[in-house]
Amino acid sequence: MSLKAFHILFIALSVLLSIVLSALALYQFTLGGSGLNLVWAVTGIGSAIGLIVYGVRFLRKLRDVSFL
Amino acid sequence: MSERTKKGSGGEGTGAESAPVHHDDHHHEASFWRTYVFSTDHKVIGIQYGVTALLFLLFGFTLMMLMRWQLAYPGQAFPLQWLADLLGPDRMPDGIMLPEFYNQLGAMHGTIMVFLGVVPLAVGAFGNYVMPLQIGAPDMAFPKLNMASYWVYFAGGVTMLVSFFVPGGAANSGWTSYAPLSVIATTGQTVWLLGMVLLITSSLLGSVNFIVTIIQLRAEGLTFMRLPFFVWAQFVTSFLLLLAFPPLEAAGVLQLMDRLAGTSFFLPSGLVVSGVPLDVAGGGSPLLWQHLFWFLAHPEVYVLILPAMGIVAEVIANNTRKPLWGYKSIVYATVFLGFMSFIVWAHHMFLTGMGTTISTFFQTTTMIISVPSIVILTALLLSLWGGSIRFNTPMLFALSFLPMFGIGGLTGLPLGLAPPDIHLHDTYYVIGHFHYVVAPGTLMALFAGVYYWYPKVTGRTMNESLGKIHFWGSFIFLNGVFMPMFIQGLAGVSRRLYDGGQIYAHAQEVLYLNEVMSVSSWLLGLAQIPFIINFFMSVRKGKKAEANHWQATTLDWSATTSPPLAHGNFETVPHVHRGPYEYSVPGAKRDFLPQDQRAEA
Amino acid sequence: MEIPYTATARPDTGLYNGKLGIWLFLASEVMLFGALFSSYILLRVGAPVWPHGSELLNVPLATINTVVLISSSVTMVMSWASLMMKDFSKYRMYMGFTILLSFVFLVIKYFEYTSKFSHDIFPSTSTFYAIYFTMTGLHGLHVIGGIVVNAYLWGPGNKMWKSDPQRFTNRVEIAGLYWHFVDLVWIFLFPVLYLL
Ligand code: HEM
Ligand SMILES: [Cu+2]
C-alpha cells in the first residue's frame, strides 16, 4: 500500500472521527447541554465535509500515482 | 574463521574470479573494525551471533549446574571452595547457597537460555548465515539494520549480565516475571526489563529484515514452493517474532511504569506486603501481565522449535539422499501452526480462575495446534523410510531430535487439557515437558546445524570421532536430567523449590531422583568438552572441506564456495530450476540435482 | 554485488524493499498499541468505577492537537507528492511545515502534562491517569522519532535528491507511511482517552 492509499484511508478515518464527534456533541445537546454543544456539532459536520472535499481533490491530483 | 576471510579478501584483492560482479567501491581495504566487528555482511553477523549465543548458552547452563547442587544436596556447603568464595557471602555464605541467590539463578537461567541463547543461535546465527545463501541473495535486504540488530542484542545481553551486580542481585521472579511479585522485587527486575526491551528491539529489527529478504531477494526461479524448508521455518518464525514480541514490549513498559513511576497496572487494590499495606493507588490486574506475557511466550516456544525443525529437515533430506516426504504438507502445517500459535496462550493459565468457557476455547485450540506439529514430525519420520542413511554426526543429532521432540510434544497434550493440568500445573512435569522440546529437542537440532554448516562457514570439517562422543554423551545425559522430572512431577513435586521438595511428605518417595538429575547435569557439562575442543581446533586443524561438502542440493552448498565470497556470496547470480530436495532422481547421473542445475540433457 | 530492489520494485511483488519493511514494522507497531488498548479495556472492565475522560482531561487542547496532526499528515503527503512532480523547493516547504506542526503538537502536549503535574496529578494517581500518561507518552515518543526522521530528510538527508532521486522519494514515502501511522494512533487515542 503506497502513501497515497494510506493517506486516503487516514482521511476516511478522520472523517469518521469528525462525524462521531459531532454526533456525540449533538447527543449532549439533546440531553440539555449548552449551545456550545451545538457549535461543536456543526463544526464536526463542517470538518467532515471539508475533509471529504479535500480527499476527492487529492485523489484527482495524484491520479497517476499507483495505490500499490 | 581466519581462513574464510583470507579467502574472501583474497578474492577481493586480486579481483580475478570476481571482477565481473563487483567492480564498485569495494576495492579499498576495509578496516579491521569494519570487517570483523561492525561488519554489515550477513555471514560475519551470523558468526557473531553464533559465538555470542553459544557463550550465553554455556553461561546459562553453568547457572543451572550451580542450582543443581542445591537441589541435590540442599543446605550443604558447595564443594568448589574457590567458586563459593568468588560468588561471595551475599550469595553463598560459607558455601551455602542463599534462597535469594537460588531464585536469581532460576530466573536468569530461563531468560538467558531462551532469549540470549537458543533464539539468537537458531535465528540470529543460522538464519542470518544460511538463509540468504539458500535463497541466492547477495546479503540481507537491510545490512545496516542487521548489524544494529546484533549490537542491540549484545547490549541486551550485557545488560542482563550487569544485573547480577546491582543491589539485591539479578531478577529473581522467574523468567515469566509474574506480577505482583516482580513489581515489588529488587532493582534487578528493572534491569531485566530494560534488557528485555533491548532484546525485543533487536528481534524486531531482525524479523523485519528476514521477511523482506525472503520475499524480495529470492533468486530467479526460486518460487515459494521451491524454498528449502529451513527458509520456510525462518519465515514463519520471523512473523511470530514480529507480531508476538510487541505485546511483551508493551507489558514491559507497563511494568517499568509500575516499578519506576508508581503506577499500579499490575497491582490489585489492597495489596499487603509483609504485613504492610502497599502504598499505591491499586486497581490493576496481575492477570493482565500473564495474558500479555503468554501472548508472546507461547508463540515464542514455536520460535524455539521451528528453526530447529528447519535444520533437521535439511540434514535428514541430505543424509537419507531422498526428497523430504510430504514437503507441501510440512510447509502448510508450519504456516497453520504459525497462525494458531497466537490463540492458544491461555493454556498456561488454566488455574487462574478464568472460567470454563474460556478454558474450553483454549483447550480446543491447543488440541488443534498439536496436529500440525505432529504432521511435521510424522513427515520427517517417514522421510527416513527406505533411505540408505549416512550416519554422520549431524545426522545423529538430527535423528535424535525426532523421538526427543516426540516426547516433549506428547507430554504437552495432557497439559493442554484443563483437568489433568490442574494436577500437573507448576510441577516438575511441566519442566520436563518443555525441556524435552527445547533441550533434547531444539538444542540437539542446533548442534546438528553446527556440525552440518561448519564446513560451509570455515571451509573445514569438524572431527567425526569427537562429534560422536559429544553426541552420545549429550544424548544420554540430557535424558538423565529430564526424564526423572516427569516422575517427580507426576508425584506432585512443585517447580521452583529451593530445597528440591525436601519439606514435603509427598515428595519423599522421589527425592532420590534429585541426585540422579544433578549428577547427569554435571556429566552433561563434561560431555560438552569434546564439542568445545572440536569447535576451536577444527578452525585450523580440520580437514579441508569441498564447496559442496555434503553433496547437497540447496544453493548454500551448490552455488558458492566454502566459505562463500566475502561480498555478495556468489560469483554469478544463481538461477533456480528445480525444487529443493531432488535427491536420487531416477535416471540422473549423480544422486543429487542441485537447485541451480539446468535439466540434464 | 548490489542488493536488488532497494529503489525499484520487484516485478512479482510490486514493492521495493523499504516499503515492505516499513509495513512490517508498522504491523508490529499495531501489535504494540493493540496490546496497550487491550490492556486499557481489560483494566477498565475490571474497575468498579472509571472516570469520564472529558471531565478530567483538557478536551479543547486535545481537539486542537487532533487538527494539528491531521494537517501535518496532509503536508507530509504533499511533500511526497511534490517530489513526485520533481518540485524540490515545494518539498522543502511542505516537509518544513510537517516538522513545525509536529513541534506544535509536542508543545501543546507539554502544556497539558505540566498543568496536570502542577495540580499534583501523576501517573501514580489512579489507573486512569496511569494509562493516560503511558499511552500518550509512548505516542509522544513516536512523534519525536518522526521529527528526527523528517528533520533528517528535510536537512542533511536531502543530498540524496541529487544522487538518487528515486530512492530519496522512496525514503520520503516511507517516512510518510510511518508518520501517518503515528497520526492514526492519535485518531484512536483521542476519542478513547478524552471522550469515552
Ligand atoms: C506440541 C504441542 C504442545 C502442547 C500441547 C503444549 C502444551 C503446554 C501447556 C498446556 C503448558 C502449560 C503447562 C502448565 O503451566 O501447567 C506448556 C508449558 C510450556 N511449554 Fe508446551 N506445549 C507444546 C509444545 C511446546 C513446544 C514445541 C515448546 C518449545 C519449544 C513448548 C514449551 C513450553 C514451555 C517453555 C512451557 C512452560 C513455561 C513456563 O511455565 O515457564 N511447548 N506447554
Ligand atoms: Cu503454550
Among the listed residues B500, B595, B481, B440, the one whose alpha carbon sits nearest the alpha carbon of residue B106: B500
What residues does each domain of chain B span? 42-264+284-558
**For an interface test with C, which of A7, A13, A43, A61 has the most C Cβ atoms less than 10 Å from its Cβ?**
A7
**What is the helix (H) or strand (E) element at residue C62, kind and residue range?**
helix C59-84
Q: How confident is the model at residue B12 (pLDDT cuts 50, 70, 90)?
A: very low
Q: How confident is the model at residue B20 (pLDDT cuts 50, 70, 90)?
A: very low
Residue B519, C-beta contacts closer than 8 angstroms, at least 6 positions apart: B72, B480
| Chain C positions with Cβ closer than 8 Å to A | 14-15, 19, 23, 66, 70, 73-74, 77, 80-81, 84, 173, 176-177, 180, 183-184, 187, 190-191, 195
Q: How confident is the model at residue B567 (pLDDT cuts 50, 70, 90)?
A: confident
Among protein residues, the one whose CA lies closest to atom 29 of ligand 1 = B301
pLDDT of residue B2: 39
From the list C15, C66, C77, which residue is nearest A7 (CB)?
C77
Whether residue B16 has pLDDT greater than 90: no
pLDDT of residue B172: 94
Among the listed residues B39, B123, B479, B482, the one whose alpha carbon sits nearest the alpha carbon of residue B299: B123
Residue of C nearest to A10 (CA): C184
Whether residue B103 has pLDDT greater than 60: yes
Ordered by where they begin, the domains of chain C are 17-195 (1.20.120.80)
Interface pTM, i.e. ipTM: 0.95
From C116's Cα to the closest Cα of chain A, the distance in A is: 24
Question: Residues of C with CB below 8 A from A58's CB?
Answer: 77
Q: What value does the mean pLDDT take over residues B274-288?
A: 91
From the list A3, A20, A21, which residue is nearest C77 (CB)?
A3
Q: What value does the mean pLDDT take over residues B264-275?
A: 92
Whether residue B497 has pLDDT greater than 70: yes
pLDDT of residue B7: 37
How far is residue B157's CA from residue B120's CA, in Å, rounded to a whole number? 11
Joined grid coordinates for residue C164: 538518487
pLDDT of residue B600: 65
Residue C12, C-beta contacts closer than 8 angstroms, at least 6 positions apart: none
Q: How confident is the model at residue B28 (pLDDT cuts 50, 70, 90)?
A: low
Is it true that the peptide bond before B180 is cis, omega within 30 degrees of 0? yes
Q: B544 forms bridges with which residues in the sheet?
A: B460
Give me chain B's average pLDDT, please: 92
pLDDT of residue C176: 97
DSSP B322: S
- Tell me, using a 6 A CB cutoff, whether residue B258 lines ligand 1: no
Minimum mean pLDDT among B276-280, B448-452, C87-91: which range? Answer: B276-280
Show which of residues 144-163 on chain C sit within 8 Å of chain B, judged by CB atoms: none
Whether residue B23 has pLDDT greater than 50: no
Whether residue B95 has pLDDT greater than 70: yes
What residues does each domain of chain A span? 8-61
- Which residues surround the ion ligand 2 when the cut-off is CB under 5 Å? B 298
Q: How far is the CA of B65 from the centre of ligand 1 (A)?
A: 23
Q: How confident is the model at residue B74 (pLDDT cuts 50, 70, 90)?
A: very high
Whether residue B579 has pLDDT greater than 60: yes
Residue B592 backbone dihedrals phi, psi, to 5 degrees? -150, 145
Question: Residues of C with CB below 8 A from A18's CB?
Answer: none
Q: How confident is the model at residue A64 (pLDDT cuts 50, 70, 90)?
A: confident
The vertex-C126 CA angle with C120 and C131, nearest 5°, equals 105
From the list A4, A58, A68, which residue is nearest C14 (CB)?
A68
Q: For chain A, what is the radius of gyration of the CA atoms? A: 15
pLDDT of residue B15: 34
Share of chain B above pLDDT 90, in %: 87
Share of chain B above pLDDT 70, in %: 95
Share of chain C above pLDDT 90, in %: 92
Q: What value does the mean pLDDT take over residues B532-557?
A: 95
Q: What value does the mean pLDDT take over residues B391-403?
A: 97
pLDDT tens, residue by residue, C27-81 = 999 999 999 999 999 999 999 999 988 889 999 999 999 999 999 999 999 999 9
Q: How far is the CA of B399 from the centre of ligand 2 (A)?
A: 25
> Is B244 in CB contact (< 8 Å) with chain C?
yes
Cβ–Cβ < 8 Å for C68, C101:
yes
DSSP C9: P
pLDDT of residue B377: 97
Q: What value does the mean pLDDT take over residues A11-17?
A: 95
Residue of C nearest to B205 (CA): C25
Atom of ligand 1 lying closest to residue B405 CA: 27
Q: What value does the mean pLDDT take over residues B258-275?
A: 93
Whose cell is 567501491? That residue is: B25
pLDDT tens, residue by residue, B160-183 = 999 999 999 999 999 999 999 999
Cβ contact C–A (≥3 pairs, < 8 Å) = yes
Q: How confident is the model at residue B599 (pLDDT cuts 50, 70, 90)?
A: confident
How far is residue B409's CA from residue B567's CA, in Å, rounded to a whole number? 41
How far is residue B474's CA from residue B484's CA, in Å, rounded to a whole number? 16
Cβ contact C–B (≥3 pairs, < 8 Å) = yes
- CATH fold of B42-264+284-558 reads Cytochrome C Oxidase; Chain A (1.20.210)
Which of B312, B361, B430, B490 best tests ligand 1's pocket when mutated (most atoms within 8 Å of CB)? B430
Joined grid coordinates for residue B282: 491499586
Atom of ligand 1 lying closest to residue B110 CA: 41
| Chain A positions with Cβ closer than 8 Å to C | 1-4, 6-7, 10, 13-14, 17, 20-21, 24, 51, 54, 58, 61-62, 65, 68
**How many beta-carbon contacts under 8 Å exist across A and C?**
44
Whether residue B14 has pLDDT greater than 50: no
Whose cell is 476516511? That residue is: A12
